[in-house]
Structure 1
Amino acid sequence: MTDLDALLDEATPAFEDVRICLDGARRAEWNALAEQAMSKDDADGRLGAKSPAAVAKKKLDALADELRERMLTIRVFAVPGTQWAALKSKNPPRKGDRQDEAQGYNLEAVARQALITHGKRVSGDKVEDINAGQWGKILEKIGGGDFQTLIYAVIGVNQLVGQQFVGLLVKGSPATSNSAGK
């Protein structure tokens, strides 16, 4: 059995990476090229001419390469348990919001505050801090779907996934009371 101090010294927080494209205005261009690339149109009749679908596929690949440069990867780390509890207690549920009322706190406010303190930028092999001003700009620039994804990542890594993960690890283990002696 491992020493408790060794376990604690080697403990690492859970995290989830969220990728966001910061060039959402090009989505219409992407969609048009994707539609053309999937079309069954034949070549234009000239010998050796590429089909419109093949041309669109090549343009789509080039656009994908360009847009990858505009991607932002945010690593959402788990907030220490006592801090997480304090965040939830400071942000009561919004009246009439079923999700907030079911959880007992304002999901959006808690997620926003957790992101500012525990959301980092992943750039290659580096994990970098994002300051409050940068967070303001990020939240101002991204769409509602991207913001919702960040909220889900925060709630997931801090509340939902941890115990599910532990449950999977111990399921069927002789160390659990449910499977002991079976």
Structure 2
Amino acid sequence: MDNEEFDALLEKAKRPEKDVDLCLRGDLQAEWERLDAQLAEPSTDTATLAVSKEQREIAKQVVALQEEMKDATLTLRLRALERHAWKKLRADHPPRDKDPHDRVMGINNDTFWDALVYVSLVSPKLDAERVARLLDSLTVSQFDKLTTATWNLNQEDVSVPFSSTASRIAPSSGATSRQRPSSESAIDASSAGSRKKSSSTTMKAGS
């Protein structure tokens, strides 16, 4: 790679990003679970195994709840920080001397995470006050999900992914060009079998 090729590649460099979905209507989960459990109960009409009118109504409620929860789901697009910005953010939130968790992570766990989410958020564009309100509305599990994703964006390596499913459906041009037509393979296999059989017959005759 020469300098011009390097410059062209570097101009395309982008930091890794990740989407995190957060449902803000967690209160609907319990009702969904209750209805879904009812739906899983065997029908009273065991003779015909037909779906009862009651089950159809419950199914409609389950689907409606799913749509309501989907509409209440916020998708956050996060982006990794530049190396110097990451180092500065950690320096701005140093670990407390008497906190063992801080010393392990190398940060102030009480102040670092909110700041990290704010500076990493790409979409939607929210000011600091709205980000703080959002984080305060989350459960511990949701907050951990969000901050873990943000931390991993900055701490994990980026490698070329591989999808075995996509590879089977749409093989690369190189792999396709290396594949021989099935008719040729069949002919070769048949010829090889004939040669092997002929050789075996000759050996038996000689013996």
Length-normalised TM-score, structure 1: 0.74
Residue 177 (structure 1) aligns with:
none
Compare CA radii of gyration and give the structure with the larger one.
2
Q: Take 1:83 and 1:10, find their aligned partners in 2: how far apart are those partners? A: 20
Greater share of helix residues, 1 or 2?
Answer: 2
Greater share of strand residues, 1 or 2?
Answer: 1
Q: Deviations over 1:108-130 (max 9, x none)?
A: 53331121122133xxxxxx311
Q: Take 2:7 and 2:110, find their aligned partners in 1: how far apart are those partners? A: 36
From 26, 29, 41, the equivalent of 1:27 is 29
Q: Deviations over 1:50-101 (max 9, x none)?
A: 1655543332111101211111001111011111011112212344343x32
Q: Sort the Cα spacing of 1:39 and 1:51 in 2 relative to 1 into closer, same or farther, 3 A.
A: farther
Residue 74 (structure 1) aligns with:
76
The answer to which of 29-38 and 52-61 deviates more is 52-61
Which structure 2 segments of 5+ residues have no match?
163-207
Residue 96 (structure 1) aligns with:
99
Residue 131 (structure 2) aligns with:
135
| SS of residue matched to 1:11 | coil
RMSD: 2.9
| SS of residue matched to 2:75 | strand
Length-normalised TM-score, structure 2: 0.66
Q: Which amino acid aligns with 2:16?
A: A
Q: Sequence identity, in percent? A: 25
Equivalent pairs counted in the alignment come to 159
